[in-house]
Amino acid sequence: MAWNQPNNGNDNRPTNGQRPPEIDDFLKKINQSFERWFGGGGSGDSSDTTPLKIAAVVVVGLTVITGFYRVEEAEEAVVLRFGKYHTTETAGLHWAMPLVNEVKKVNIQKVEQIPLNARMITEDTNIVEINLTVQYRIAQPVDYLLKVSEPELSLLHATESALRHVVGGSKMNQVLNEGRSTLARDIKPRLQGYLNDYKTGLEITGVNILEALPPKEVKSAFDDVIRAKEDKERLKNQAETYANGIVPEARGQAARLLAEANAYKQEVVDIAKGDAARFNHLIVEYKKSPQVIRQRLYLETMESVLSKTNKIIVEGNGNNMFYLPLDKMMPAPVGGVANSANSESLEQANARANGRQGRGEGR
């Protein structure tokens, strides 16, 4: 049944009851407005107003259709009614009145990053160049859209302020060398506090210090300092390595010498004890037969002394005595020369002995 079919000639409502009465009243008001605008006066033929009613239905249908919108899982939709905050919608299918409500979708899970490169003054009045990136996401869509006109610009200014505060309280060596992780750790909570005070709706997920360098004008001098520190560490490691190798060796030698000394000490003590025991035993025997022990001691002593010399003394009959120089009688590497030399030395030695014997007889 057509929607504009009259009912008893007095009402334009359909008889099937499919359309709510609010829409009927709304269309009826629109029809009356069109009749006044186009001169219908409400008394003309209903066929003259049929195109206007169809146009009104089409407009209403398009309005209803275009009012539907979909919010994705990672998004939130902020609905503004006449430019003022109305509500926040989550994931799903929703409807808003066109030209009355404005829908702004925001991805609350996407992580963005913003770079910053700035020069800062450290606590010891040195200048360093810091290059960092800040990772963030939108945590409060209402604050992000309505409270601050340019949230990213506010984030950039807040990052520079937090970085200046932290670097200003650190020394240059800490910033350039081992203090990068500490620097990023200190910047993050301070930066988040600034953003919360500004009500930007942003949440900081990470701060990464990419580079911390001295100014280009003095970079060569800083490179020399760094190389000197590296040489110092290298030489220190080499010295420690040498010490680790030489100290155990010296300790081993000391232990060996100590062990040898203890062994020598024990040996001397044992020998002395043995000699003392032998001497005590010898005294007992000496008391029994002094002449025999005396002769025995003499022979042992002479044997010990003469065994260390290379000369032999031979006692002959009467007062004749001569010696044999065994050191000169030993064969040399060259046979002929050595034998002749040894024979000559032997003859000369015998002649000298006989001469001394003759002079003794003459006396």
Tell me: the pLDDT tens digits for 114-154? 999 988 888 888 888 889 999 999 999 999 999 888 999 99
pLDDT in tens, 282-331: 888 888 888 888 888 888 888 888 777 766 666 656 565 555 565 666 65
State which of 137-141, 175-179, 215-219, 299-303 shows the largest mean pLDDT: 137-141
Please say if the pLDDT value at position 360 is more than 50: no
Chain position carrying tokens 């044999």: 324
What six digits make up the tokens of 88?
Answer: 């926040």
Greater model confidence, 176 or 105: 105
* pTM of the entire predicted model: 0.49
pLDDT of residue 43: 47
pLDDT in tens, 11-58: 444 444 444 455 566 666 666 665 665 444 444 455 555 777 677 777
pLDDT of residue 308: 76
Mean pLDDT within 225-251: 88
Greater model confidence, 136 or 178: 136
pLDDT in tens, 70-106: 888 888 889 998 888 888 888 888 888 788 888 888 9
303 half-sphere exposure, CB direction, 13 A CA radius: 6
The CATH classification number of 112-214 equals 3.30.479.30
Q: Report the chain's mean pLDDT, rounded to a whole number.
A: 77
CA 317 from centre of chain:
100
Rounded to 5 degrees, φ, ψ at 289 are -140, 90
pLDDT of residue 316: 58
State which of 58-62, 93-97, 153-157, 166-170 shows the largest mean pLDDT: 153-157
pLDDT of residue 26: 60
pLDDT in tens, 334-345: 444 444 444 455
Closest CA to 75 of 40, 101, 42, 109: 109
How do the domains of the chain map onto residue ranges?
69-107, 112-214, 225-308, 309-362
The three-class DSSP label of residue 312 is strand
pLDDT in tens, 239-265: 988 888 888 888 999 999 999 999 999
